[in-house]
Amino acid sequence: MRVIAGSARRIPLKTLEGMDTRPTQDRIKETLFNMLQYDLADCTFLDLFAGSGGIGIEALSRGAGQAVFVEQNPKAAEIVRENLEAVRLSDKALVMNCDALTALKRLEGKYRFDYIFMDPPYNQELERQMLEYLKDSSLIDKQSTIIIEASLETSFDYLKYLSFVLEKNKEYKTNRHVFVYRGE
């Protein structure tokens, strides 16, 4: 795994051994950031369920002003820190070693995110729990975009009940990225 573009281009990133994390493949990461590239400058980015931090680091490398990484696994959180040091972007980052919901509560009132990327373990409805919290949160506004990496089987039919609007659904062979924003 490596940084695709920007100030840290081509720098390899460490990943956690085993199946505890699923790093986003380079080609999928490249597709995702091709969709975001013109809106990243100086944005505030939240990488929930960060794993090795590859998505948030890519955002910083491409011009995001600040990124917060949330990872519950202590070994993975340490790898995020090591990767940030390797790409020389630690000064623009905050790494939180706790569960995602606790992190959201701790961040409340301190940040407003332009982008929230979440890649929770598949088929456990964790993305729904995060959206239920975010629907009334000051962490986002109507201009914020939430991107969820999910299995192809994951249903998002509940979005309208939480006042979220499905903006885009980009499917790949084994998973997809779902883009949502807060509606009226």
Cα 88 to chain centroid distance, Å, stands at: 19
Torsion sign across C-alpha atoms 146, 35, 175, 160 = positive
Whose tokens are 């299995």? That residue is 151
Give the span between the Cα atoms of 61 and 106, in whole angstroms: 26
pLDDT of residue 18: 59
pLDDT for residue 112: 97
**Strands (DSSP E) found in 13-136:** 44-48, 66-70, 93-96, 115-118
What pLDDT does residue 103 have?
98
The pLDDT value given to residue 2: 67
What pLDDT is recorded for position 7? Answer: 72
> How much is the pLDDT for 14?
79
Taking the complete model, does pTM exceed 0.85, yes or no? Answer: yes
| The domain over range 32-50+67-72+96-182 is classified in CATH as 3.65.10.10 | no
Distance CA 127, CA 104 (A): 13
Chain mean position to CA 172: 17
Q: Which structure tokens are listed for 86?
A: 């390797």
CA–CA dist 132, 112 (Å, integer): 17
End-to-end, the C-alpha distance of the chain in Å comes to 39
Contacts of residue 93, defined as CB under 8 A and 6 or more positions apart, other chains included, come to 56, 60, 66, 67, 68, 69, 84
pLDDT of the chain, 184 residues: tens digit per residue: 766 667 766 777 878 775 455 666 777 888 889 888 888 999 999 999 999 999 999 999 999 999 999 999 999 999 999 999 999 999 999 999 999 999 999 999 999 999 999 999 998 999 999 999 999 999 999 999 999 999 999 999 999 999 999 999 999 998 999 999 998 6
Instruction: Name which of 72, 182, 84, 60 is nearest 133 in CA terms.
Output: 182
CA-CA distance, 95 to 104, in Å (whole number)?
13
